[in-house]
Amino acid sequence: MEVDDIKILLPPFNPNSSLSLNSQEWVDEVENMSALQNWSDEHTLLYASLRLEDDAKLWFCTNKWNNWKQFKSKLVSQFPTSKHLSQYLEKLLKRHKEDGESFDDYVNDVVQLAGKCNFTLPTAIHYIISGLSDANMRNRLIAYNCTSIQEVLSRIQTITFNQEQEAKWTNSEEPKPTLPPKKPPPPPTAAPAPADVEFHPNYPTLKNEAEWSDLVVTVKVADVLLTAFVDLSSKYTTLQSSEFRKHSWKLRQHDVKALGFRLGLSKVLGKTIKTVIAGQVEMLIEILVVEDNFQSYPIILGRNFLHNKNVCIVKSFQSCEINFVDTPKSTTPIPTPQSTAPPKNKKKKRSRNKSNNQQQMVNNSSSLEIQKIIEDGKTYIKEILVRVREENGQIKNYL
């Protein structure tokens, strides 16, 4: 049968055209014509493929087909009708992750349903997140703003691992730490630094303790920018547990089990050792990981960072900077020991000072005369050596 005859007998199928039949109607027309013409399955598949257009033709060429029955079932599922779309959409809306189901199976199923509904990738990711029962995981995935299915699976794996670690910490059988009810002593007040006093590395330059209540700076912890609060009354540098888990840093054990805050005692989950860069200062320190609800800033810089040599805090108006300052060497001469006995006679002391000054002047003049004599001797020796060389030259010329 020629191609022109097939065009007359079979209508075209174009899923992108509103004038074309839908997939189910087109399959019914092909089967009716096949029954009238007594076509075999191979001829039916061949003649039907000649009437495919646009996306349907491309889809047919990129797959292998064994018979007509396989082709028509795949065609209807690949290019569903409005009735099928409503069914797939209803399944997608009701799809939730079941208990015991792996995340890979759940995500793949949602992606297939979204593809049958002709949804884009961002819409498929939206349905993946909305079908999760864990509200904490949903909120974190929304904050990450994933752009691919692989990123979604990677983020889910990281969040699951952090939740398992947190469950181990909370379910540990260690006794709850307690602190004595004594109130900590108030921090010492630093007086203004005099201009003629030698610089001390731990001295808060020209400021007092009351002015350090609202200092906020931006620091970099292992190449991660964080907002830090400068607290000279805190012994340790502390980090919120959410920031620690977000970056999957290594956690180590620490001897301190709890820290006191204004809201109460916070359990120390552990410590991490990181490089902290604040302004011009770069330092490797220990950072304690505490619960989120005890500090409002991601990180608090304590004295283990601030009370180090050459660390200087400069505050002007509402801004604060942490700078690196070289410790100046002391130019004050070493004092000589003096006698503690009270002077018997002031006049004798004055006369002694005068005699000492006169003796010092005599010593200075004598030393100058000695230096002059040495210089004159050197000049005389040089003249003699020149004369000897000249005489030796004359004798050689005569001989």
Q: What is the pLDDT along the chain (399 residues), one digit of tens a residue?
A: 677 888 888 999 988 887 788 888 899 999 999 999 899 989 999 999 999 998 889 989 988 888 899 999 888 888 877 656 677 788 888 889 988 899 999 998 898 888 777 788 889 899 999 999 888 888 888 888 888 998 999 999 888 888 888 777 766 655 544 545 555 555 544 444 344 333 333 333 333 334 444 578 888 888 888 888 888 778 888 988 888 888 888 888 777 766 665 545 667 888 888 888 887 788 888 888 888 776 778 888 888 888 877 777 776 656 677 777 765 554 444 454 444 455 555 445 555 555 566 566 656 666 677 777 788 777 878 777 777 777 666 555 544
Phi, psi of 27 (to 5 degrees): -60, -40
- The residues, any chain, with a CB within 8 Å of residue 253's CB and separated by 6 or more, are 270, 271
Token code pair at residue 17: 């055209």
Separation CA 49–CA 57 (nearest Å): 7
Q: What fold is seen in the domain 209-324?
A: Cathepsin D, subunit A; domain 1 (2.40.70)
DSSP output for 171-197: T--PPPP---SPPPPPPPPPPPPPTTS
Task: Give the torsion through C-alpha atoms of 26, 27, 28, 31, to 10 deg.
Answer: 130
Counting every residue written for the chain, the total comes to 399
Tell me the C-alpha distance between 233 and 212, whole Å: 10
Q: Are 214 and 227 in contact (CB under 8 A)?
A: no
